[in-house]
A and B are shown apart, each in its own frame.
Chain A
Amino acid sequence: MQQLFIDGNRCIGCRACVEACSECPGHGGFSMIHLDDLERATTVQTSPTVCMHCDDPACASVCPADAIKTDAAGVVLSASVERCIGCGSCALACPFGVPKIDARRELMMKCDLCYDRTSEGLAPMCATVCPSGALFYGTREEVQDRRLARPLDVFAFGDRVVSTRNAVMAPVPVARVEVGVWQVPARSRAELQLEEALCD
């Protein structure tokens, strides 16, 4: 199965994914990717957030209009234009903060894994252009073969455990990540080395 693998460690914050998402034929100039500076005052670390395509998607479960469908390949589609009422319940429910509400169109839009492209065997726009490999589209075997980092697709939000179709890359193998409140960001070796700079 072709999946999207997200390696925040490689992200350089260039926003090529954001710009490319808006160019996907089905997206009409609208980008569905969140690209965040974690804490620019102390680090250049950035993080791309695309839909994780949960095995049991909270967005679809809470949707009062039944506007969010999952296809046979496990891709959670963007909201149906006909059904969506733009209420934003999905945005509140999503543990990853993915759905965006286009208030003007009263429509939720989120990553559909570039359905127009992936259904034709192409990679999603974001992973095609990503210049650092922070977004990689391929099989689990491919990514494990090529990289030292390991895929991770189980996230525990307290008692609620979410498994996902897409995966994030972890520097060391872990079975699941306990999502909680952390001191963000932990400082990298390079950040510590900058503190040693001699200035006088």
Chain B
Amino acid sequence: MAKPTASLEELVDRHGPHLSYEPPGGFAARAHADRKVKTHCCFCGQQCGVQLLVQNERVVGVEPWEEFPFNGGKLCPKGVKRYLQNNHPDRLLQPMVRTGNGFGRIPWDEALDLVVERVRRLQERHGPDSVAILSGASLTNEKAYLMGKFARLAVGTRHIDYNGRLCMVAAGAANLKAFGIDRAANPWADIPATDLVLVLGSNVSECSPITTDYIWRARDRGAKLVVVDPRLTPIARTADLYLPVRPGRDSALLNAILNVVIRRGGVDHAFVAAHTSGFDEVLRTVERYTPEAVAREVGIPAARIVEAAEMWVQAPRTFLLHARGIEHHTKGVDNVLACINLVLATGKIGKPGCGYATITGQGNGQGGREHGQRCNQLPGARDIENPAHRAHVAAMWGVEPDVLPGKGYTAPQIVEAIHRGEIRGLVSLCFNPLVSLPDATFTREALERLEFFTAIDFFLSETARHADLVLPGSLQEEDEGTVTSAEGRVIRIRKAVEPPGEARADWRIVCDLARRFGQGERFAFAGPEEIFAELSRLSAGGVADYSGITWDKIERQMGVFWPCPAPDHPGTPRLFEGGRFAHADGRARFHAVEYRPPAETTDDAYPIILTTGRVVSQFLSGTQTRRIGPLVEQYPEPRVELHPKLAAKLGVADGERVRVSSRRGALELTAQVVATIRPDTVFIPYHWPGAWSANLLTLRAYDPVAGIPEFKVAAVRIEKLEISHAAALH
């Protein structure tokens, strides 16, 4: 049973999180850098260009990279202080095996042999699918590709999925349905040229800060800004129109906006007739969604909904942006489809300054979802259940198609299968489900039931504390590769330094394991560039076609937008020009969306809506950012945001301690009383583990198509704590 054998205090003492504040030797020791390595930030999907300063083969600082076109030197605080993750006291430096008290050292060869021996033993007893792989969307394209191939050929399990399941899959599934392709429709350079920016469920200023400047550059030309969010975020504060939607009601709101757009004559009938199909059913459906009919449910006066629709109709060019706020729902796919219906009905896509995009969240949120590390996918964004796609990939890999396993479980389904004993072994790379999945108590129970768990990581994440074996992998700046940014731009990640101690590049670890699994000849890569060559060759003819991209071309062009199907092809910054979509008939598809309430609605026992999200100084499960001192100081511990009206009803003042409870669990937090959130809704950021984990409260309810959890709506109650409790150890 994979329970930690040392106490929490001992594990924290040995492996952190500890806080790093200064470069090696302190700021005074930092002189002129030996070299500046042009690469990208390791955190979000914006993938800002940045230069890492290297002195004596150590990363000692950062210098903005002003020539990189996407961010032109701009960075958020995470990008500025990201370098402090290197030379970190918590860095895993050698393979570790679980002992009676925490972890002890084990030589690499023994460790790798142990993985293969234990995985094979489980598979012999319980079948090939008794072992699962979890991987991450912060991994390079090369690693994402390698993990999919490793799972299917070396381990031979159908269960591989990635933490993009918690991020991009609702948008991805909806884009694929509507457009036949899953990528931002426009480059960000189109945002400043638009006349109206509509932002739904995206705290742009904290979660994709660089996008703020793009929006302001549009506003500098007179463009309007409309923001839909239950919280009055920094980007919403100055909006021309702010719609404080009740969490979980987005599809009703979007249908109502389209209802008014249609009545105001905003439909581009020529575009709809020439380039789309399925509009009639949408017409029939949205007819019932008048602003008056939905106002109470969505929590916004009808007049404001009408105003939004009128602004949309009046703007010659529009740019619709959305993110997790509308996607982390049991109807995440529906919400995205409802956005796309609005864009398609008005023909506002595929033109300069006029388009649509989801703001992909994770570092390689785009590329990480294209190269085959998803449970339902093969490289080139191919479908694992499509016989032609299987045959193509099998031939390229030199195996028979029936060797390839079928569709596996999503990441949350893998954890549920571990919990019920169906999956007994786990190999994870760059995934911290104990913090990031909903219902953390359940996740912990599942991890404790694993019979064998290997974690490859650079820090001992909360999840990795449960591992039998920990293999020290590489930080982003310790390996070469590529990622694909939120725009669909393939860019180069450059190695600044070697992995320290006995730590190894992730791709080497995976290839070494594959060799021990008897698949050495299919994993005989000399380095990541060879892996890229294979993945790009294999992607030829697929939806995500990288076949005309080389590392050299990426460097020459400052990134290449896929699809790029030939060496002389410049790449495709803007999709759908001339109304040509990626479905076989060239048409986009409308999808009529009926509003469904959230999985859990409020009642007398749990009368308050909880929504979760991020703060600007932390990233996802915090494995990296909770170790960077200046970032932790910005926002040291989670607080629960609530409106003064709700606070008054509860008798809670700002700064007082409260207990927030749901049907899954409870946590004690400090109240932050602010008039910048709906009075029926509270907000808790989710970056922390243990007693500070917002995911103690969230529920295991998923979108039926995409499998994304409903992080954005749960029912809670709040009680004031009369005695002040000491901050929980985490």
| Closest chain A CB from B197 CB (angstroms) | 14
CA distance A19 to B237 in the complex (A): 24
**Contact pattern, A 144-173, Cβ under 8 Å of B = 1, otherwise 0:** 001110000000000000000000000000
A132-B212, A198-B296 given; A20·B80 CB < 8 A = yes
User: Does A16 lie within 8 Å of B675, measured CB to CB?
Assistant: no
User: Does A10 lie within 8 Å of B676, measured CB to CB?
Assistant: no
Tell yes or no: A13 within 8 A of B by CB: yes
Q: Which among A41-49, A62-70, A92-100 touches the partner chain?
A: A41-49
CA distance A188 to B299 in the complex (A): 20
User: Does B675 lie within 8 Å of A193, measured CB to CB?
Assistant: no
Contact partner of A46 among B213, B234, B240, B672, CB < 8 A? B234
Tell yes or no: B304 within 8 A of A by CB: yes
Q: Which among A50-58, A79-87, A123-131 touches the partner chain?
A: A123-131
Tell yes or no: B74 within 8 A of A by CB: yes
Tell yes or no: A194 within 8 A of B by CB: yes
User: Does A14 lie within 8 Å of B77, measured CB to CB?
Assistant: yes
User: Does B240 lie within 8 Å of A197, measured CB to CB?
Assistant: no
**Contact pattern, A 1-44, Cβ under 8 Å of B = 1, otherwise 0:** 00000000111111110111011010011000000000011111
Contact residues of B between 214 and 245, Cβ < 8 Å to A? 216-217, 219-220, 222, 227, 232-244
Contact partner of A132 among B81, B205, B222, CB < 8 A? B205
Residue of A whose beta carbon sits closest to that of B64: A128
User: Does B634 lie within 8 Å of A15, measured CB to CB?
Assistant: yes
Tell yes or no: A196 within 8 A of B by CB: yes
Residue of B whose beta carbon sits closest to that of A21: B80
User: Does B80 lie within 8 Å of A19, measured CB to CB?
Assistant: yes
| Closest chain B CB from A103 CB (angstroms) | 18
User: Does B234 lie within 8 Å of A42, measured CB to CB?
Assistant: no
Tell yes or no: B97 within 8 A of A by CB: no
User: Does A198 lie within 8 Å of B235, measured CB to CB?
Assistant: no
User: Does A132 lie within 8 Å of B213, measured CB to CB?
Assistant: yes
Contact partner of B674 among A13, A40, A125, A130, CB < 8 A? A40
Contact partner of A197 among B80, B233, B299, B634, CB < 8 A? B299
CA distance A197 to B305 in the complex (A): 12
Contact residues of B between 647 and 693, Cβ < 8 Å to A? 654, 672-676, 678-680
CA distance A132 to B213 in the complex (A): 4
Tell yes or no: B723 within 8 A of A by CB: no
A15-B634, A19-B77, A197-B300 given; A188·B216 CB < 8 A = no
Q: How many chain B residues touch the partner (CB < 8 A)?
A: 65
Contact residues of B between 541 and 561, Cβ < 8 Å to A? none
User: Does B241 lie within 8 Å of A193, measured CB to CB?
Assistant: yes
User: Does B73 lie within 8 Å of A129, measured CB to CB?
Assistant: yes
A128-B73, A196-B301 given; A133·B216 CB < 8 A = yes
User: Does A41 lie within 8 Å of B673, measured CB to CB?
Assistant: yes
Q: How many chain A residues touch the partner (CB < 8 A)?
A: 45
| Closest chain B CB from A43 CB (angstroms) | 7
| Closest chain A CB from B543 CB (angstroms) | 32
CA distance A190 to B232 in the complex (A): 8
User: Does A146 lie within 8 Å of B220, measured CB to CB?
Assistant: yes
Tell yes or no: B394 within 8 A of A by CB: no
User: Does B77 lie within 8 Å of A18, measured CB to CB?
Assistant: yes
| Closest chain A CB from B35 CB (angstroms) | 16
User: Does A189 lie within 8 Å of B239, measured CB to CB?
Assistant: yes
Tell yes or no: B24 within 8 A of A by CB: no
Tell yes or no: A71 within 8 A of B by CB: no
Tell yes or no: A200 within 8 A of B by CB: yes
Residues of A within 8 A of B301 (CB): 196, 198
Tell yes or no: B62 within 8 A of A by CB: yes
CA distance A191 to B678 in the complex (A): 11
User: Does B80 lie within 8 Å of A129, measured CB to CB?
Assistant: yes
User: Does A44 lie within 8 Å of B237, measured CB to CB?
Assistant: yes
CA distance A40 to B641 in the complex (A): 11
Tell yes or no: B703 within 8 A of A by CB: no
Tell yes or no: A199 within 8 A of B by CB: yes
Residues of B within 8 A of A125 (CB): 64
Residue of B whose beta carbon sits closest to that of A22: B630
The count of A-to-B residue pairs whose CB atoms sit within 8 angstroms is 162
Residues of A within 8 A of B238 (CB): 9-10, 188, 190
User: Does A193 lie within 8 Å of B75, measured CB to CB?
Assistant: no
**Contact pattern, A 109-148, Cβ under 8 Å of B = 1, otherwise 0:** 0000000000000010100111111000000000000111
CA distance A132 to B79 in the complex (A): 14
User: Does B676 lie within 8 Å of A43, measured CB to CB?
Assistant: yes
Residues of B within 8 A of A146 (CB): 217, 220
Residue of B whose beta carbon sits closest to that of A191: B232
Contact partner of B233 among A11, A25, A44, A133, CB < 8 A? A44
User: Does B234 lie within 8 Å of A44, measured CB to CB?
Assistant: yes
Contact residues of B between 38 and 55, Cβ < 8 Å to A? none
User: Does A16 lie within 8 Å of B77, measured CB to CB?
Assistant: yes
CA distance A130 to B64 in the complex (A): 11
Tell yes or no: B22 within 8 A of A by CB: yes
A132-B209, A198-B301 given; A148·B675 CB < 8 A = no
Residue of B whose beta carbon sits closest to that of A46: B234
Residues of B within 8 A of A12 (CB): 205-206, 209, 212, 234-235, 616
CA distance A43 to B242 in the complex (A): 14
Contact residues of B between 279 and 323, Cβ < 8 Å to A? 295-296, 299-301, 304
**Contact pattern, B 310-349, Cβ under 8 Å of A = 1, otherwise 0:** 0000000000000000000000000000000000000000
User: Does A199 lie within 8 Å of B678, measured CB to CB?
Assistant: yes
CA distance A45 to B675 in the complex (A): 12
A41-B644, A44-B232, A197-B244 given; A16·B79 CB < 8 A = yes
Tell yes or no: B28 within 8 A of A by CB: yes
CA distance A147 to B206 in the complex (A): 23
User: Does A131 lie within 8 Å of B212, measured CB to CB?
Assistant: yes
| Closest chain A CB from B563 CB (angstroms) | 29
CA distance A128 to B675 in the complex (A): 32
CA distance A22 to B673 in the complex (A): 31
Residues of A within 8 A of B246 (CB): 197-199
User: Does B236 lie within 8 Å of A14, measured CB to CB?
Assistant: no
Residues of A within 8 A of B241 (CB): 189-190, 193
Tell yes or no: B412 within 8 A of A by CB: no
Name, among A25, A148, A200, the residue most crowded by chain B CB atoms within 10 Å (CB to CB): A25
Residue of B whose beta carbon sits closest to that of A149: B220
Residues of A within 8 A of B234 (CB): 11-13, 44, 46
Residues of B within 8 A of A197 (CB): 244, 246, 299-300, 678-680
Residue of B whose beta carbon sits closest to that of A148: B220
Residues of B within 8 A of A18 (CB): 77
A16-B76, A129-B64, A190-B227 given; A196·B304 CB < 8 A = yes
Residue of A whose beta carbon sits closest to that of B676: A44
Residues of A within 8 A of B64 (CB): 20, 125, 128-129
Residues of A within 8 A of B565 (CB): none
Residue of A whose beta carbon sits closest to that of B302: A198
Residues of B within 8 A of A131 (CB): 71, 74-76, 209-210, 212-213
Contact partner of B76 among A14, A128, A147, A193, CB < 8 A? A14
Residue of A whose beta carbon sits closest to that of B221: A148
User: Does A45 lie within 8 Å of B237, measured CB to CB?
Assistant: yes
Known: A14-B616, A193-B244, A197-B246. 19 other contacts (CB 8 A): A12-B205, A12-B235, A13-B205, A14-B76, A14-B209, A16-B75, A22-B630, A28-B27, A29-B22, A41-B654, A129-B73, A133-B213, A190-B237, A191-B676, A194-B244, A196-B301, A197-B680, A198-B295, A199-B246
Cβ-closest 4 pairs across A and B: A12-B205, A190-B242, A29-B27, A131-B209
Which residues of B come within 8 Å of A, CB atoms? 21-22, 26-28, 30, 61-62, 64, 66, 71, 73-77, 79-81, 205-206, 209-210, 212-213, 216-217, 219-220, 222, 227, 232-244, 246, 295-296, 299-301, 304, 616-617, 630, 634, 644, 654, 672-676, 678-680
Can you name 24 A-B residue pairings with CB atoms under 8 Å? A9-B238, A13-B616, A14-B206, A14-B616, A14-B617, A16-B75, A16-B80, A19-B80, A20-B64, A29-B22, A43-B237, A43-B676, A131-B75, A131-B212, A146-B217, A148-B219, A188-B237, A191-B676, A193-B243, A194-B232, A196-B301, A197-B246, A197-B300, A198-B295
